[in-house]
């Protein structure tokens, strides 16, 4: 009986497919309905007609070579059986390419999400990976609105700040999971390779609903590669003029119901002192990384993957004579870091129907670090976990995400620093709705409730309610705008930039019950203009405005962390312009950041926060043949903690890459102007026996040239 009803229910779907930019007809565009195994092409007028469709809901995918795809669910019978849908596809070139975002959980197209998200797709990651294959420090440092701050003069340890706020206000995620939070966030920028990534997503500003209060300044989500339709086996070998060597390999393959990716890397650097200061600008280091994953597609409703992330590193910086085994009464200073990371990642998805699914994620992480300095040893380990279950529903008008997560963080320090032990458990529940009210307006609203144990001092006592709202306005087919804001909080912690700069020496224990959580209020808005000036020329201009207020921030005073009497406020703008002219791409980025501390009735500029940063990049690429790029970066003067002002500086870079089917050869030069802080001033006071290091605000390594090859045996 049911079969006969389906046969009798004959519906027709009609759609006209056009170029979104020129409004020209795309004849030959393809329409596919996967559930019914139907595929048809548009006629010479750009019209697609699919007849004899049964009643029900079906996803229809429209594709055309060189254009982004359209995927939408239609309900049959249609309210108007004679309706002809207008479907516009955007050219898949440059900034107008369709990018699917994972950070919002709904896997929507970037251009349809009310939250302002920036994405660095695989094509750009491919270029960055040949510049610095061993870490993501450069990748983040060249992103507008992000400032990488070096926290050790001799070990090159670094953290990153978004929109002028300390690194503790930012979350660094891998596949949506916090693998690098708390104590394990230390050295993370220097231990993650871009070669294992297919996309990086940035949210600047409050991202509290889905990821908790710690995402006050924003978050960076590193999306790992997954097995593709064809097997891949790639090896990369790289050497640098700064005594560095990198060797890595990546393998992926997908079978009918299973798949795997395996990434492994060896990174080594010799002690390097280009300024002849007697101290390492780049420490002696050795690192091993192994990241295997297994993927399972059990059936059309159930899929998931399991992975392991393992890293061991020895990092030894300081006096060059000490590193050479020639220590004496004068040459004694060193910093030795030994770290071991081990974490598991689990993700499982159960698809309920075409519109909804249930997801489960879990990660368990172990991080062990030993920091040795003359007369001081600091040893500790962190055991952390993250578990989440969420429900996602993508409807025609509205999308829902609802779920709960459990986060644990336990830090144990070895004697005599056992008093620094730290433990925190957070239980959170959240709900978020994205409502597409009209073709030109969408609203995203979310609410999160967190309960923290142990609880901080009043007023919140561990319970925080975090609302967040974002709106998308499609003012025209070329102009869009986003505006939004939300609340956030940060539980008191010892792990921040100040502790890292001091090497955890003389730090007094933190009593969460005697300190308040830092609470924030933030908002941002942007205008985005994108247009095809011609068939081969595309321009994208984005202008962002931001403001964040942090109440009673935690500061270090007399070796103890206390709540400041006042607040921290940061405001500014970001300007991004990208011009694509066929094979030639120009990019210009500018950031203005005004971050001030309003403590005890006085207003002062926050140290180590440049007000002005400017970047320019030009790339010429013939796909699959060669790539040529030049770039320049300007970092303006910045206030230092001793009251002095660090001077502004400009650096230049150059990349040349030749590609064949199975082989790439590349050479890259960074900081061709040889800007080094040691050219302008000393980086320490006192004697070399016991140096007191000053703030590091400019490069120490000078000109660095790297060259290498990438071998692609399967692709």
Q: Do 231 and 205 have their domain in common?
A: no
Q: Do 710 and 567 have their domain in common?
A: yes
* Contact (Cβ atoms closer than 8 angstroms) between residue 340 and residue 367: yes
User: What pLDDT sits at residue 207?
Assistant: 87
Q: Is the peptide bond before 459 cis (omega within 30 degrees of 0)?
A: yes
User: What pLDDT sits at residue 502?
Assistant: 82
Query: For the CA atoms of the chain, what is the radius of gyration?
Result: 26
User: What pLDDT sits at residue 337?
Assistant: 95
Q: What is the pLDDT of residues 692-707, one digit of tens each?
A: 999 999 999 999 999 9
643/490 Cα distance (integer angstroms)? 28
CATH code where residue 49 lies? 2.60.40.1120
Q: Do 76 and 112 have their domain in common?
A: no
Q: Do 246 and 163 have their domain in common?
A: no
User: What pLDDT sits at residue 95?
Assistant: 44
CATH code where residue 574 lies? 2.40.170.20
Residue by residue, DSSP assigns 261-314 as EEEEEEEEE--B-TT-SSB-SB-EEEEEEEEEEEEEE-SSSEEEEEEEEEEEEE
Enumerate the H helices of 275-410 as residue ranges. 320-323
Low-confidence spans in the chain with pLDDT less than 70: 1-9, 21-22, 65-66, 91-98, 715
CATH code where residue 182 lies? 2.170.130.10
User: What pLDDT sits at residue 66?
Assistant: 64
Count of positions (residues) in the chain? 715
Q: Do 325 and 214 have their domain in common?
A: no
Q: Do 104 and 88 have their domain in common?
A: no
**Strands 11-19, 84-89: parallel, antiparallel or unpaired by DSSP?**
parallel
* Contact (Cβ atoms closer than 8 angstroms) between residue 139 and residue 194: yes
- Least Cα distance to 128 among 617, 623, 577 occurs for 617
Q: Which of 92, 117, 139 is the last residue of a domain?
A: 92
* Contact (Cβ atoms closer than 8 angstroms) between residue 260 and residue 252: yes
Q: Do 290 and 186 have their domain in common?
A: no
User: What pLDDT sits at residue 301?
Assistant: 93
Q: Do 36 and 122 have their domain in common?
A: no
For the record, the structure tokens of 205 come out as 């500003």
Q: Which of 59, 92, 125 is the last residue of a domain?
A: 92
Q: Do 296 and 441 have their domain in common?
A: yes
Q: Do 555 and 492 have their domain in common?
A: yes
CA 52 to chain centre: 46
Which pTM value belongs to this model? 0.87
Domain of 178? 100-222
On the 0-12 / 13-18 / 19+ scale of CB atoms within 10 A, 70 is: buried
Q: Which of 75, 92, 109 is the last residue of a domain?
A: 92
Domain count, the chain: 3
Specify which residues 172 forms β-bridges with: 220
* Contact (Cβ atoms closer than 8 angstroms) between residue 138 and residue 568: no
Q: Do 50 and 168 have their domain in common?
A: no
Q: Do 326 and 184 have their domain in common?
A: no
């Amino acid at each position: 009986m049911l079969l006969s009803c389906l046969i009798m229910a004959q519906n027709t779907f009609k759609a006209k497919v056009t170029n979104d930019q020129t409004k020209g007809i795309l004849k030959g565009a393809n329409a596919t309905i996967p559930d019914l195994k139907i595929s048809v092409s548009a006629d010479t007028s750009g019209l697609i007609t699919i007849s004899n469709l049964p009643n029900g809901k079906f996803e229809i995918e429209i594709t055309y070579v060189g254009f982004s795809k359209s995927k939408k669910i239609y309900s049959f019978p249609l309210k108007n059986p004679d309706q002809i849908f207008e479907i516009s596809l955007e050219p898949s070139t440059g900034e107008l390419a369709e990018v699917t975002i994972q950070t919002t959980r709904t896997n929507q197209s970037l251009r349809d999400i009310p939250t302002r998200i920036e994405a660095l797709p695989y094509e750009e990651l491919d270029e960055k990976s040949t510049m610095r294959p061993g870490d993501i420090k450069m990748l983040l440092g060249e992103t507008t609105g992000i400032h990488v701050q070096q926290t050790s003069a001799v070990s090159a340890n670094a953290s990153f700040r978004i929109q002028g706020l300390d690194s503790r206000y930012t979350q660094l995620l891998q596949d949506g999971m916090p693998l690098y939070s708390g104590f394990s966030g230390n050295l993370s920028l220097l231990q993650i390779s871009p070669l294992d990534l297919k996309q990086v997503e940035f949210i600047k500003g409050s991202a509290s609903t889905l990821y908790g209060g710690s995402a006050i300044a924003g978050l960076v989500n590193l999306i790992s590669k997954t097995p593709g339709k064809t097997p891949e086996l790639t090896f990369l070998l790289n050497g640098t003029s700064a005594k560095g060597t990198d060797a890595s390999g990546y393998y992926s393959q997908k079978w009918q119901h299973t798949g795997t990716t395996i990434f492994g890397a060896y990174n080594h650097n010799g002690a390097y002192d280009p300024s002849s200061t007697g101290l390492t600008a780049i420490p002696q280091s050795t690192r091993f990384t192994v990241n295997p994953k297994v993927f399972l597609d059990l059936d059309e409703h159930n899929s998931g993957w399991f992975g392991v992330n393992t890293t061991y590193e020895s990092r030894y910086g300081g006096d060059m004579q000490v590193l050479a085994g020639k220590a004496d009464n004068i040459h004694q200073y060193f910093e030795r870091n030994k770290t071991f990371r081990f974490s598991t990642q689990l993700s499982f998805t159960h698809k309920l129907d075409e519109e909804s699914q249930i997801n489960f994620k879990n990660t368990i992480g172990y991080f062990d670090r030993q920091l040795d300095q003359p007369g001081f040893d600091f040893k500790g380990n962190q055991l952390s976990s993250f578990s989440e279950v969420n429900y996602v529903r993508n409807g025609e008008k509205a999308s829902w995400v609802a779920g709960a997560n459990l986060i644990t963080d336990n830090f144990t320090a070895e004697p005599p620093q056992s008093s620094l032990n730290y433990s925190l458990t957070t239980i959170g529940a959240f709900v978020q709705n994205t409502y597409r009210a009209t073709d030109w307006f969408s609203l995203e609203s979310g609410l999160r409730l967190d309960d923290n144990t142990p609880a901080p001092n009043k007023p919140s006592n561990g319970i925080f309610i975090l609302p967040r709202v974002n709106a998308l306005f499609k003012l025209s087919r070329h102009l869009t705008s986003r505006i939004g804001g939300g609340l956030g909080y940060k539980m008191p912690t010892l792990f921040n930039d100040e502790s890292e700069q001091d090497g955890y020496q003389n730090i007094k224990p933190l009593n969460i019950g005697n300190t308040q959580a830092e609470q924030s209020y933030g908002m941002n808005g942007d205008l985005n203009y994108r247009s095809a000036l011609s068939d081969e020329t595309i321009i994208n201009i984005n202008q962002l405005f931001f403001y964040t207020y942090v109440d009673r921030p935690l500061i270090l005073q007399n070796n103890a962390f206390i709540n400041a009497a006042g607040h921290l406020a940061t405001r500014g703008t970001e300007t991004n312009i990208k011009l694509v002219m066929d094979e030639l791409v120009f990019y210009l980025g500018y950031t203005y950041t005004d971050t001030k501390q309003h403590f005890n009735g006085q207003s002062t500029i926050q140290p180590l926060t440049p007000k002005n940063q400017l970047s320019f990049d030009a790339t010429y690429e013939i796909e699959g043949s060669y790539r040529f790029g030049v770039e320049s970066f300007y970092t303006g003067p910045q206030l230092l903690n001793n009251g002095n002002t660090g001077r502004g500086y400009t650096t230049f870079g150059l990349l040349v890459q030749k590609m064949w089917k199975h082989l790439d050869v590349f050479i890259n030069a960074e900081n061709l102007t040889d800007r080094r802080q040691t050219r302008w001033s000393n980086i320490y006071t006192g004697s070399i026996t016991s140096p007191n290091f000053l703030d590091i605000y400019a490069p120490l390594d000078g000109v660095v040239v790297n060259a290498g090859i990438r071998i692609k045996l399967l692709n």
